[in-house]
Amino acid sequence: MKFFKTTLILILASLPCISFSQERGIPVYSDYLTDNLYLLHPSMAGAGVRSKIRLTGRRQWFDVEDAPGLETASINGRVADNIGLGGILYNDSNGRFSQQGVYATFAYHLLLSRDRVDLNQLSFGLSVGVQQEKLDETNLIGGVNPNDPAISGAELSDSYFNVDFGMSYYYMEFYAHATVKNIIPQKREIFDDLETDNQRQYIGSVGYVIAPFGSDWSFDPSVMLMYKEETTETNLDINGKAMYGTDFGSLWGGVSYRRSFDGAEYTENGTTINNQKLQYITPFIGINYKDFMFAYTYTYQANSIVLSNSGFHQITLGFNFGKSNERYHCNCPAINY
């Protein structure tokens, strides 16, 4: 039946509102809070004084079969005084839908200060990505759907490319980022005519690192705003992060609160219509030990109607390499480490 396939595709297409998975390109989670800004902002490729390798693994709802999962591998570093390069591989899966992709990034960094002692840097980054998406319709024919002409009974796939562009500005302890993702309109044929070709998304964030004089502690409050052009969906992150410097590196952790400005209507009794706005609470902890980094992130969905209460779990592993120039005289961990 045509209705069955239409229903299946609508459910898959609505999953970003539930889990932020299956976005065009890499889903926007809270990776940027665990020293992984490059996944979100191409302008951060090579922005720091050292090169970075980051691996992430994320699983949602351990008690739900075929729940969303994401794995990423990225590398970025400075290859010349003003040039940064980076690359990302990722695999994103959600039930019968999955996507794999690769991004290559070119970044240009302008040092606006007179020397490298004081940080005043403006960065631009451009990422070009190629993705392959798959929709598995095998084993759907039979039972209540015998010989349904709308279901192929095979694994459908489609490939496309897109472009992200971003800017970052660092002035001592202050920083700001702005990125446009999926700039080029692209139609996903596996969804027929049920999805718009406009997947453009805007992301902006600002923050300031507070470091009391003579203390080993520093604090990093920040906010991030995400806006999807076609659907006008808007989400706000309010973040707090604390860092403690040690002889071997640093210990750090914090919490993020994500709130959607857009509500979803639902009913529990068939008569009363309620409205629910997505809310995520995400605590995270991490450690930098010499050249290595480890972080754990947990996300809890604080809504009355949820698919599961088991939450989302993510592990991030990192390695910093390459000799650095003199560190900037500021508390700016994203640049100095």
Residues 93-134: pLDDT tens digits? 887 788 899 999 999 999 998 777 789 999 999 999 998 887
**Phi/psi of residue 255, nearest 5 degrees:** -150, 145
∠ at Cα 246 (241, 251), nearest 5°? 30
Cβ neighbours around 20 below 10 Å, total? 22
- Rg, Å, the chain Cα set: 21
Mean pLDDT for the chain overall: 84
pLDDT of residue 9: 38
Q: How far is CA 151 from the centre of its chain?
A: 32
Identify the burial level of 77 via C-beta atoms within 10 angstroms of its C-beta, where 0-12 means exposed, 13-18 middle and 19 or more buried. buried
pLDDT of residue 3: 36
pLDDT of residue 189: 66
Tokens found for residue 333: 């961990």
Residue 77 · residue 97 · CB < 8 Å: no
pLDDT of residue 187: 73
For the whole model, what pTM was predicted?
0.85
Q: What domains does the chain contain, in order, with CATH numbers?
A: 1-321 (2.40.160.40)
Calpha distance 39→27 (Å, rounded): 10
Question: How would residue 235 be classed by pLDDT, with cut points 50, 70 and 90?
Answer: very high
Q: What percent of the chain is predicted at pLDDT more than 90?
A: 53
Q: What is the mean pLDDT of residues 275-279?
A: 80
pLDDT of residue 213: 84
For 174-207, give the DSSP string: EEEEEEEE--S----GGGTTSS-S---EEEEEEE
Q: What is the mean pLDDT of residues 242-249?
A: 94
Calpha distance 302→323 (Å, rounded): 44
Q: What is the mean pLDDT of residues 8-16?
A: 38
pLDDT of 308 higher than 70: no
Question: How would residue 29 be classed by pLDDT, with cut points 50, 70 and 90?
Answer: confident
